[in-house]
């Protein structure tokens, strides 16, 4: 059953290297469907809807849209805004309905992680209940890879590739001096250790961390010092990868200990800093040269070293979302279903939005060894970091998309 | 006049993305000269000589030597060791002479920055005075680009390219939310701001820092807050690049203020942390979201994004050093002389070691605007970051050289 009207696409949550690749897939595919009368981009996700601030994507240069494929971050702007339940407060929903009617939006595609799928789900439920025909499709993304009911998430592969590569480079750099060193590399992941686990790819390639700690297992500072001492005694250096979200057996974040010691409350430490804290402890206890390193935002925006497979899959997720919506699907998220590993084959499968929202997928026990990652994890992760994608380079630096961002007007 | 004997190569000082490219140039070129009877690599630079620990490079797999071209860090190990003057203490020099005689070393090539050229100079002077025929050639390297009497240094172009690219990516990531942010990016360079200046390439490409501060100019925290406030008022976000070595008008490092506030003396802050300190001040004063980011060791070892020109020039520096030594030159450093910019043309020119050692080249005034970099700097830096070099990738990650490191034995 054909539904004629405009398509609105929004980006939400933390940006990744490939969130714009999904945008590229959505836009380029939407342009090919006659039933889609106009393509809009929401400025800063759902906030742009509430503020009546939509960009007219039809007004964009097609070459800039093509460049989105390899441009990091969220070109339309992102937001962290959680819709309340409509039963508690209908204000936002009334406004969303008003704006959808104003622009005749009949396709709403939303790109993001857990919270964004929750937004999608709530909007879809409300519009259905109020008999406003609109096809709602969630497009997954998150570097954290913690989305439920999908084998993996767009954004993860590229971040994992950057982390593995950077850990190799840091391992070579960190072991260079005759006097031993401890290098502690802090990786994103508050509750799920998927990104930190990717550092093991470097280790299995022979040039990576000696010790890897995920937030899934309780972290003991004493045990950590013992582990580091054993490695250091053997190798004269120790390279450690830790997740920013490591916690002790009582569930307290290790970084909280750092903040407590830090009387002046440097923001630096609040915004991470567990690597610096552990480095200072290692220095005190083992009396060796230390360096705490945060991969910080680089790990989620280094599109110069994106995974080709990740970029392609992110693009396909956007393209398939449009195709499924046009074909009649709604209130779904496009999920990745890994059919086989050797050769790698993935099919995009729609899953119910209700099933996805607000669950977190952790790294399973079988992949986690005491202070390291089991080799079987490589079967999972290697296909996701396969191939090197990068933007075109001009004058030695990347050429990233620059959108005109013309504010949409309707009469 | 042909001199027959072994060649010894050593790596010294902080590693870079291309120090091994010079090693590759030295080794591959040395193998082609019959007068070079054997090729050794010093384990951890001059320390390996003093410890009688040399690697037999002839025993290495030629394919691994080829991989050195795109392998970051110092494959032979590095060292920070400053030789005393021979007049004050001859012990080290006697030992060096003994080892050179033991292995019949007639060619000594040493790769490094200011201190390493000083080592080269002193060793050369001593051997000459003691009538031990040996050709000494310094091969420059330093990410800091602060070596005297050369247009630029191998290692700088690749670090500059990584910094410019990463600043573009971080700028896109840092401006993504509807609520404004300040991102403060800390870049290496204790006394010279060449690396920090490279962030301006991102700005002139339209996606980079708004404010750039080098150590060459006195830094005022109050002025900085004003600058940031002006940008923030206009753009709703502010991206700042600062050199780790920024100092106030009295010459005191800004990072020292951070350490003073930090009663527990976290190492993290000692090892950098000026970005975190300034971020905390901005947060207090402007009440906006902040993020301090250190490019840390990544900026000097990211060979996955090396400058093709830098890699090629680093290789040529090593190759030319061998050729010049074989042809009879000694007590020189191979320097880069930029003949023209458009098209870029560089010739390698020998300069006296005495003229190089222990001087630091700062960023000239003409390139520095108040809180930014003059556009004319692009003429200098763009040719140095031209082209993308990277190692071969296998299973999604780089393939870096793995040397056997067979300890040399003589009868």
What's the number of CA atoms in the CB half-sphere (13 Å) around residue A49?
Answer: 31
Maximum C-alpha span of chain A: 74
Q: What is the DSSP string of A232-280?
A: HHHHS-EEEEEETT-B-TTS-BHHHHHHHH-TT--HHHHTS-HHHHHHH
B142 touches chain A (CB under 8 A): no
A168 touches chain B (CB under 8 A): yes
Tokens of A305: 């070293």
Give pLDDT tens digits along chain B (411 positions). 799 999 999 999 999 999 999 999 999 999 999 999 999 999 999 999 999 999 999 999 999 999 999 999 999 999 989 899 999 999 999 999 999 999 999 999 999 998 899 999 999 999 999 999 999 999 999 999 999 889 999 999 999 999 999 999 999 999 999 888 999 999 999 999 999 999 999 999 999 999 999 999 999 999 999 999 999 999 999 999 999 999 999 999 998 887 665 443 343 333 348 999 999 899 999 999 999 999 999 999 999 999 999 999 999 999 999 999 999 999 999 999 999 998 999 999 999 998 886 678 999 999 999 999 999 999 999 999 999 999 999 999 999 999 999 999 997
Which among A178, A261, A297 has CB closest to B264?
A261
**Are the Cβ atoms of A267 and B279 closer than 8 angstroms?**
yes
A354 touches chain B (CB under 8 A): no
Segment 281-340 of chain B within 8 Å of chain A by CB: 283, 290-298, 300-305, 307
Local structure of B23: helix, strand or coil: helix
Q: Which residue of B has its CA nearest to A175?
A: B77
In this structure, how many other beta carbons lie within 10 angstroms of the beta carbon of residue B24?
25
* Cα–Cα distance for residue pair A92/A82, rounded to 1 Å: 11
> Parallel, antiparallel, or unpaired: how do β-strands A332-341 and A344-352 relate?
antiparallel
Q: Is B52 labeled as catalytic in the residue annotation? A: no
In this structure, how many other beta carbons lie within 10 angstroms of the beta carbon of residue A394?
9
Contact, B175 vs B237, CB < 8 A?
Answer: yes
For the stretch A70-82, pLDDT in tens is 999 999 999 989 8
A266 touches chain B (CB under 8 A): yes
Contact, B117 vs B105, CB < 8 A?
Answer: no
What DSSP designation does A45 have?
T
Mind listing the domains of chain A with CATH numbers? 5-142+150-155+303-357+387-398 (3.40.50.450), 156-301 (3.40.50.460)
What DSSP designation does B85 have?
P
Maximum C-alpha span of chain B: 74
Which among B172, B175, B277 has CB closest to A266?
B277
Closest residue by Cα to residue B124 from B115, B135, B139: B135
* Cα–Cα distance for residue pair A54/A77, rounded to 1 Å: 11
Segment 370-409 of chain B within 8 Å of chain A by CB: 382, 385-388, 390, 393-398, 400, 402
H helix or E strand, kind and range, residue A388: strand A388-389
**Are the Cβ atoms of B268 and A273 closer than 8 angstroms?**
yes
Which among B73, B169, B277 has CB closest to A302?
B169
**ipTM for the complex?**
0.96
* CA–centroid distance for A99 within its chain: 28
For tokens 């390193």, what's the residue?
A293
* Cα–Cα distance for residue pair B362/B357, rounded to 1 Å: 15
């Amino acid at each position: 059953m054909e539904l004629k009207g405009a398509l609105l696409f929004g980006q939400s949550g933390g940006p990744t290297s490939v969130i714009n690749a999904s945008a590229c897939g959505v836009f380029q595919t939407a342009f090919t469907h006659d039933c889609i009368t106009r393509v809009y981009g929401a400025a800063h996700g759902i906030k742009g809807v509430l503020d009546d601030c939509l960009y007219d994507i039809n007004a964009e240069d097609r070459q800039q849209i093509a460049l989105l494929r390899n441009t990091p971050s969220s070109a339309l702007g992102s937001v962290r805004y959680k819709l309340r339940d409509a039963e508690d407060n209908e204000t936002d929903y009334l406004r969303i309905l008003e704006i959808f009617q104003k622009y005749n939006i009949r396709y709403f595609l939303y790109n993001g992680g857990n919270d964004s799928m929750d937004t999608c789900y709530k909007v879809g439920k409300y519009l259905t209940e109020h008999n406003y025909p609109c096809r709602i499709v969630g497009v997954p993304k998150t570097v954290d890879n913690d989305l439920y009911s999908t084998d993996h998430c767009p954004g993860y592969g590229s971040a994992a590739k950057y982390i593995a590569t950077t850990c190799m480079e840091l391992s070579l750099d960190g072991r260079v001096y005759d006097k031993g060193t401890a290098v502690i590399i802090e990786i994103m992941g508050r509750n799920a250790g998927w990104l930190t686990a990717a550092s093991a790819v470097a280790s299995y390639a022979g040039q990576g961390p000696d010790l890897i700690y995920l937030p899934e297992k309780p972290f003991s500072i004493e045990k950590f010092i013992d582990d580091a001492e054993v490695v250091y005694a053997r190798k004269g250096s120790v390279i450690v990868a830790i997740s920013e979200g490591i916690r002790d057996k009582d569930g307290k974040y290790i970084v909280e200990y750092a903040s407590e010691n830090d009387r002046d409350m440097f923001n630096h430490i609040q915004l991470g800093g567990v690597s610096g804290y552990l480095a200072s402890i290692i220095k005190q206890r083992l009396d060796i040269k230390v360096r705490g390193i945060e991969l910080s935002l680089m790990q989620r925006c280094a599109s110069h070293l994106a995974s080709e497979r990740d970029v392609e899959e992110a693009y396909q997720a956007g393209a398939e979302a449009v195709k499924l919506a046009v074909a009649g699907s709604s209130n779904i998220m496009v999920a990745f279903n890994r059919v086989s590993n050797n050769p790698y084959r993935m099919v995009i499968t729609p899953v119910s939005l209700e099933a996805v929202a607000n669950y977190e997928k952790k790294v399973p026990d079988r992949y986690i060894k005491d202070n390291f990652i089991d080799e079987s994890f490589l079967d999972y992760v290697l296909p996701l970091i396969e191939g090197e994608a990068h933007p075109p380079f001009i004058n030695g630096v990347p050429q990233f998309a620059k959108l005109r961002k013309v504010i949409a007007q309707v009469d």
